Amino acid sequence: MKDQNIIQTLNEIAEDGIPASLDMWSAIKDRLQPGRPVSRLVRWTPVTRLGRACLMLVALLLLGGTVYALNPALDQVFRAFFPGWQYVEESHLAQEVGLSQTIGGVTVTLERAYADANEIIIGYTVTGASEAAHASHISLTDEQGRVFPEIAGAGVSGTSDLLGVQLRPGEGAYVSAFDASIVDGTPVTLSFHLTMHLVRFVPAEQPAPAATLPEPTGSTVTIAPALTMREEIVGGPFVFDFSVPFTPGRSIAVHQTVEASGVAVRLEKVIIAPSETRAILCFAPPDGADHWTLIATLNAGNGEEVPLSFVSPLEGGSYEYCQRASFPQPLHDRSGLYKLTVTELMGADLTQIPTRDIRLAGPWVFHFRVP
């Protein structure tokens, strides 16, 4: 009877919030892809609940209550590749996908997927390959057909002392990250279509010719042909359709301009999400070089200067040269006054041999508050 009161109250709240007349069929029908072949649905190999339950039981016994449903090798790759992974897992932000596809005896299992405002990250395992194979020609698109460019990847096969992983021949665990800049707004979930081929590296049949470079002294330096490799497809295409909850993170519109060494650098915005902290920096490219990059650090108000991990140009840039500067440390829970310091701009003229480098010293310092 007492529990009945709780049940009654929750039912009343639920009925107030969601009417019994709710009808979402037409919305769902509209979202179904027309003409989807049925055969694709039955090609998936089920990942059994029993198998997962056994894994969890073993993990519980060994780890005293900590549950690791994720493939251990893949978990190691995630942790090495993605500093914010522990937070993502503990906060249940990643989607357990568990879709497998087998082609020619090689099975690819899409195990985990995660999406936030900066990156979409997938983790997959390979079994049954005759030799070390990894995914290539990866394409990630959404329901509107928009393409999410792959920006980074990592993986392990065989034995890795660094990761403490020993895999059997033909097994591998891999993580790929895709740029999520084109996601509009803050959707609850994102639906993706992923295709990939498995490839292996084989020596190229025609080695590259030797290169001869002029030296300032008048002598010449001959560079021996490197052992060039090419990719050979060993399986695919592996195709996966899946949905992932979207973590919006925090976006701070900064719009500050700082001038140093005759160059005005503008910090457009900063996006803080578990995958990384990303700063969008723009400047008119100085004369003398056609490719520019920058060196920067980020201080999240705790005195620690976090160096950036990589810089890449934004697509569709105009006269201004906008760069995407990524800081991998998890700063998703840090609020307060941040400081971003661009210490140097580095340019290279790739039309010159050897290339001519230009370095412009800053600093360009930006202060902004993160709520």
Partner 1 sequence: MDERKAIARLKQGDIKGLETLVRKYQVTATRTAYLITRDRAAAEEIVQAAFLRAYERIGQFDSGRSFGPWFLRSVVNDAVKYASRNSQLVSIEADEEEETALSDFLADPAPGPEDLVEAEERRQIVWDALGTLPPQQRAVIVMRYYLGLSEAEIGEHLDCPLGTVKWRLHAARKRLQELLHSLQASRETGR
Binding site for partner 1 (CB under 8 A): 2-3, 5-7, 9-18, 20, 22-25, 27-29, 31-32, 36-38, 41-44, 46-47, 52, 56, 60, 67, 69, 91-93, 95, 99, 187-189, 191, 241-243, 245, 247-248
**How many helices and strands in the chain, by DSSP H and E?**
6, 21
Length of the chain measured in residues: 371
Closer residue to partner 1, CB minimum distance, 15 or 259? 15
As measured in angstroms, the least distance from the Cβ of 100 to partner 1 is: 9
Give the dihedral of Cα atoms 133, 103, 113, 56; nearest 10 deg. -90
Cα dist. 331→81, 247, 298 in Å? 16, 14, 10
Preceding amide of 363 cis, omega within 30 = yes
For residue 79, give Cα distances in angstroms to 52, 55, 60, 63, 76. Answer: 21, 20, 20, 18, 5
Q: Which is nearer to partner 1, 49 or 168 (CB)?
A: 49
Minimum separation from the CB atom of position 246 to partner 1 (A): 8
Q: Is the CB of 45 or the CB of 355 nearer to partner 1?
A: 45
Cβ proximity to partner 1: between 23 and 161 the closer is 23
The closest of 344, 358, 335 to 287, measured between CA atoms, is 358
- Nearest approach, Cβ of residue 142 and partner 1 (Å): 13
CA distance 318 to 226: 36
Transcribe 256-310 into DSSP letters: EEEEETTEEEEEEEEEEETTEEEEEEEEPPPTT-SEEEEEEEEE-SSS-EEEP-E
Specify whether the CB–CB gap between 269 and 280 falls below 8 A: yes
Would you say 2 or 168 has its CB closer to partner 1? 2
CB nearer partner 1, residue 66 or residue 206? 66
Distance CA 173, CA 156 (A): 5
Q: Contacts for 33-41 with beta carbons within 8 Å, 24 or more apart?
A: 33/143, 40/239
Backbone angles phi, psi at 114, to 5 degrees: -145, 145
CB of 110: closest distance to partner 1 in angstroms? 12
For residue 157, the minimal CB distance to partner 1 (Å) is: 27
3-state secondary structure string across 7-49 = HHHHHHHHHHHCCCCCCCHHHHHHHCCCCCCCHHHHCCECCCH
Q: Which lies closer to partner 1 via its Cβ, residue 92 or residue 168?
A: 92
Pick between residue 26 and residue 351 the one whose CB is nearest to partner 1.
Answer: 26
CB of 32 to partner 1, least distance (A): 6
State in angstroms the smallest separation of the CB of 194 from partner 1: 12
Nearest residue (CB) to partner 1, 170 versus 249: 249
CB of 57 to partner 1, least distance (A): 9
99 and 122 Cβ atoms separated by less than 8 Å: no
Instruction: Work out how close the CB of 183 gets to partner 1 at its nearest, in angstroms, rounded to a whole number.
Output: 14
